[in-house]
Amino acid sequence: MFRLVDVPKAEIKSIHHASLNVLEKVGVSFPEKSALEALSAIGAEVDTQRHVVRFPEHVIKKTLGQVPRNFGLCARDKKNDVLVGNGQTFYKTSSIGLHIHDLETGKRREATREDVVRTARIVDASPNIQILDPMVVPSDVPAKVSDHYRFKIAFENCSKHICTLAGAATGTDEARDIIEIASCVAGSKEELMKRPIISLIQEATSPLQYEPLGLQAVVEFAKSNIPICISTLPAGGATAPVTLAGELVIINAEVLSGIALVQAVKRGCPVIFGSFASVMDPSKGVFLLGSPERPIMHVWVANLARYYKIPSMVGGLNSDASIPGSQSVFEKTLTTTPLVLAGADIIHGAGCLEAALTYSLEQLVMDDEIAGAISRLVRGLEVNDETLALEIIKKVGIGGHFLGEKHTRDHVVHERWFPTLFTRDRKSEDFTSSVTLDRDLARSAKEKARRILKSHQPEPLDNDIKQRIREIAAKAEKRIS
């Protein structure tokens, strides 16, 4: 992969030192006893009355040095394992959506368990989306067990790595249940720790605070050495400074403090440096995901993570469009391409619309197509004796062609990207509205999504594992009733 988007190291250091100043002088709120105790034990200054933790520079430096530079995000099917931190970019779905565009009616409605099934099956069949985040929160189960069902359904319908943002109701007990579910699939708790087939995303609540239940989930996952993405979601001009540099200081301070907590609980626990930040539109008071300011910030986030030698996860493939179509493709390409060129390890966001308020199966299919094209762009070209093709050029000579050569047949599939949602016909047509509509990517994606749901079957879980997972979810549901 070649990289085009780097930022000056001196300016990265300026963000770093400003963040350290905030962490030492202002601090971050950690309103949870076990988190405060863990941070106090590594030398952070803890105000137990206000739940505020201040971090001397040496604490941040020490904890950053404990994070692995690269590690595996494993899958129940080993062929789907990914290694983050090795210079390759991977794509994952967005998460915690409450609404979905119905594939058949096109109407926006509340998501259900069946929608978790369908999104998982499409991800399983998508060659360019390597990580599943169960995209929607089912409205037909109690909130306290929604994560139980999201993980259960994900394992039953997808053989890729499962990484998700902890739900608002997930605390200590729920985290333990989810770890038990994953242990059933992995074979045991010990196997899960060796081959983590799940990972957690935990967001700070900007500015400079975390939520109690989320902290409980972080502590439980860290104890089991499960990879954790510490992320943040400030809105520039509202919950962060309006200047992008100032917002980066908030992002960095929040993430560094969360990383310190993970390492305080379990030294060497794999951590990902995350950000899903964006800016507020001051004229409308809305949080924007499709704006150009977002990829600017996340290019810097990817560079900050690389400065700390930590894998990164940033928000991309994002749009403020309310339906799949030309706006969503434009904004998703805009918010993604610079991030991949900057060397981001994971792009989070496939499948979402309307600033991640609504999700769509056809948009998920379109995002897989966008990811495939961008991945080809950044793969660049390879120069060696075989690709220079000198012998073939000599053989064909002046005025010949290369169509029938074995060299062409051997390399064309690797060298070329081929679309699946549109054709490259050259015939002249009268582009009436009906022809334009027939060729719209959203319509092609809808048909492809239907074909996947009709024909693709994920690698099945053993029936006894399915039963054990159902029992864990049922037990949790009974516990809250």
Residues 321 and 400 in one domain: no
Residues 342 and 399 in one domain: no
| Beta carbons within 8 Å of 233's beta carbon, 6+ residues apart | 203, 204, 206, 275, 276, 277, 278
Q: What distance separates the 2 farthest-apart alpha carbons in the chain? A: 82
Alpha-carbon distance of 297 to 245, in angstroms, equals: 8
By the 8 A CB rule, do 231 and 214 touch? no
85, part of any domain: yes
| Residue 444 included in any domain | no
Predicted pLDDT at 282: 84
Question: Quick one: average pLDDT of 308-314?
Answer: 97
What tokens were used for 23? 């962490």
Whether residue 347 sits in one domain with residue 198: yes
Backbone angles phi, psi at 235, to 5 degrees: -115, 110
Amino acid at 402: F
**Does any domain span residue 94?**
yes
Same structural domain for residues 348 and 257? yes
On whether both 165 and 195 belong to a single domain, the answer is yes
CATH code for the domain of 351? 3.20.20.480
Confidence of residue 438 (pLDDT cuts 50, 70, 90): very low
Distance CA 138, CA 96 (A): 9
Mean pLDDT estimate for the chain: 93
For range 66-72, the mean pLDDT: 96
Write down the pLDDT at residue 431.
52
Position 92 scores a pLDDT of 97
Question: Does the pLDDT value for residue 429 go beyond 80?
Answer: no
- pLDDT tens column, 250-291: 999 999 999 999 999 999 999 999 999 999 988 888 888 899
Q: Which element (helix H / strand E) includes 203? A: strand 198-204
Does some domain include residue 125? yes
Instruction: Identify whether residues 409 and 350 lie together within a single domain.
Output: no
Task: Please report whether residue 331 resides in a domain.
Answer: yes
Q: Is residue 235 part of a domain?
A: yes
How many distinct structural domains can be found in the chain? 2
What span, in angstroms and rounded, lies between the C-alpha atoms of 317 and 5? 18
Q: Are residues 405 and 331 in the same domain?
A: no
Same domain, 299 and 411: no
Asked if residue 393 belongs to a domain, the reply is yes
Q: Are 245 and 300 in contact (CB under 8 A)?
A: no
Per-position b or e across 292-307, b if 16+ CB within 10 A of its CB? eebbebbbbbbbbbbb
Angle at which helix 441-455 crosses helix 113-124, to 10 degrees, equals: 100
Domain boundary (356, 379, 402) is at 379
Query: Is residue 459 domain-resident?
Result: no
Domain that holds residue 399: 385-415
One domain for residues 207 and 264 = yes
Does the pLDDT value for residue 96 go beyond 90?
no
Taking 70 as the threshold, does the pLDDT of residue 430 lie above it? Answer: no
User: Tokens in use for 381?
Assistant: 């070209």
Residue 419 clears pLDDT 70, i.e. is over it: yes
Please tell me the predicted confidence (pLDDT) of residue 433: 52
Structural contact between residues 144 and 480, judged by C-beta atoms closer than 8 angstroms: yes
Q: Residue 1's pLDDT is what?
A: 52
Residues 294 and 395 in one domain: no
Residues 160 and 233 in one domain: yes
Runs of H (alpha helix) within 65-208: 113-124, 146-157, 172-186, 189-194
Structure tokens at 314: 């940033």
> What's the rounded mean pLDDT across residues 298-325?
94
Query: Is the confidence at residue 244, as pLDDT, over 90?
Result: yes
pLDDT 10s digits, 179-232? 999 999 999 999 999 999 999 999 999 999 999 999 999 999 999 999 999 999
pLDDT in tens, 378-415: 888 999 999 999 999 999 999 999 999 999 999 999 99
Write the pLDDT tens digit of every residue in 442-465. 889 999 999 999 999 999 999 999
Asked if residue 372 and residue 390 are part of one domain, the reply reads no
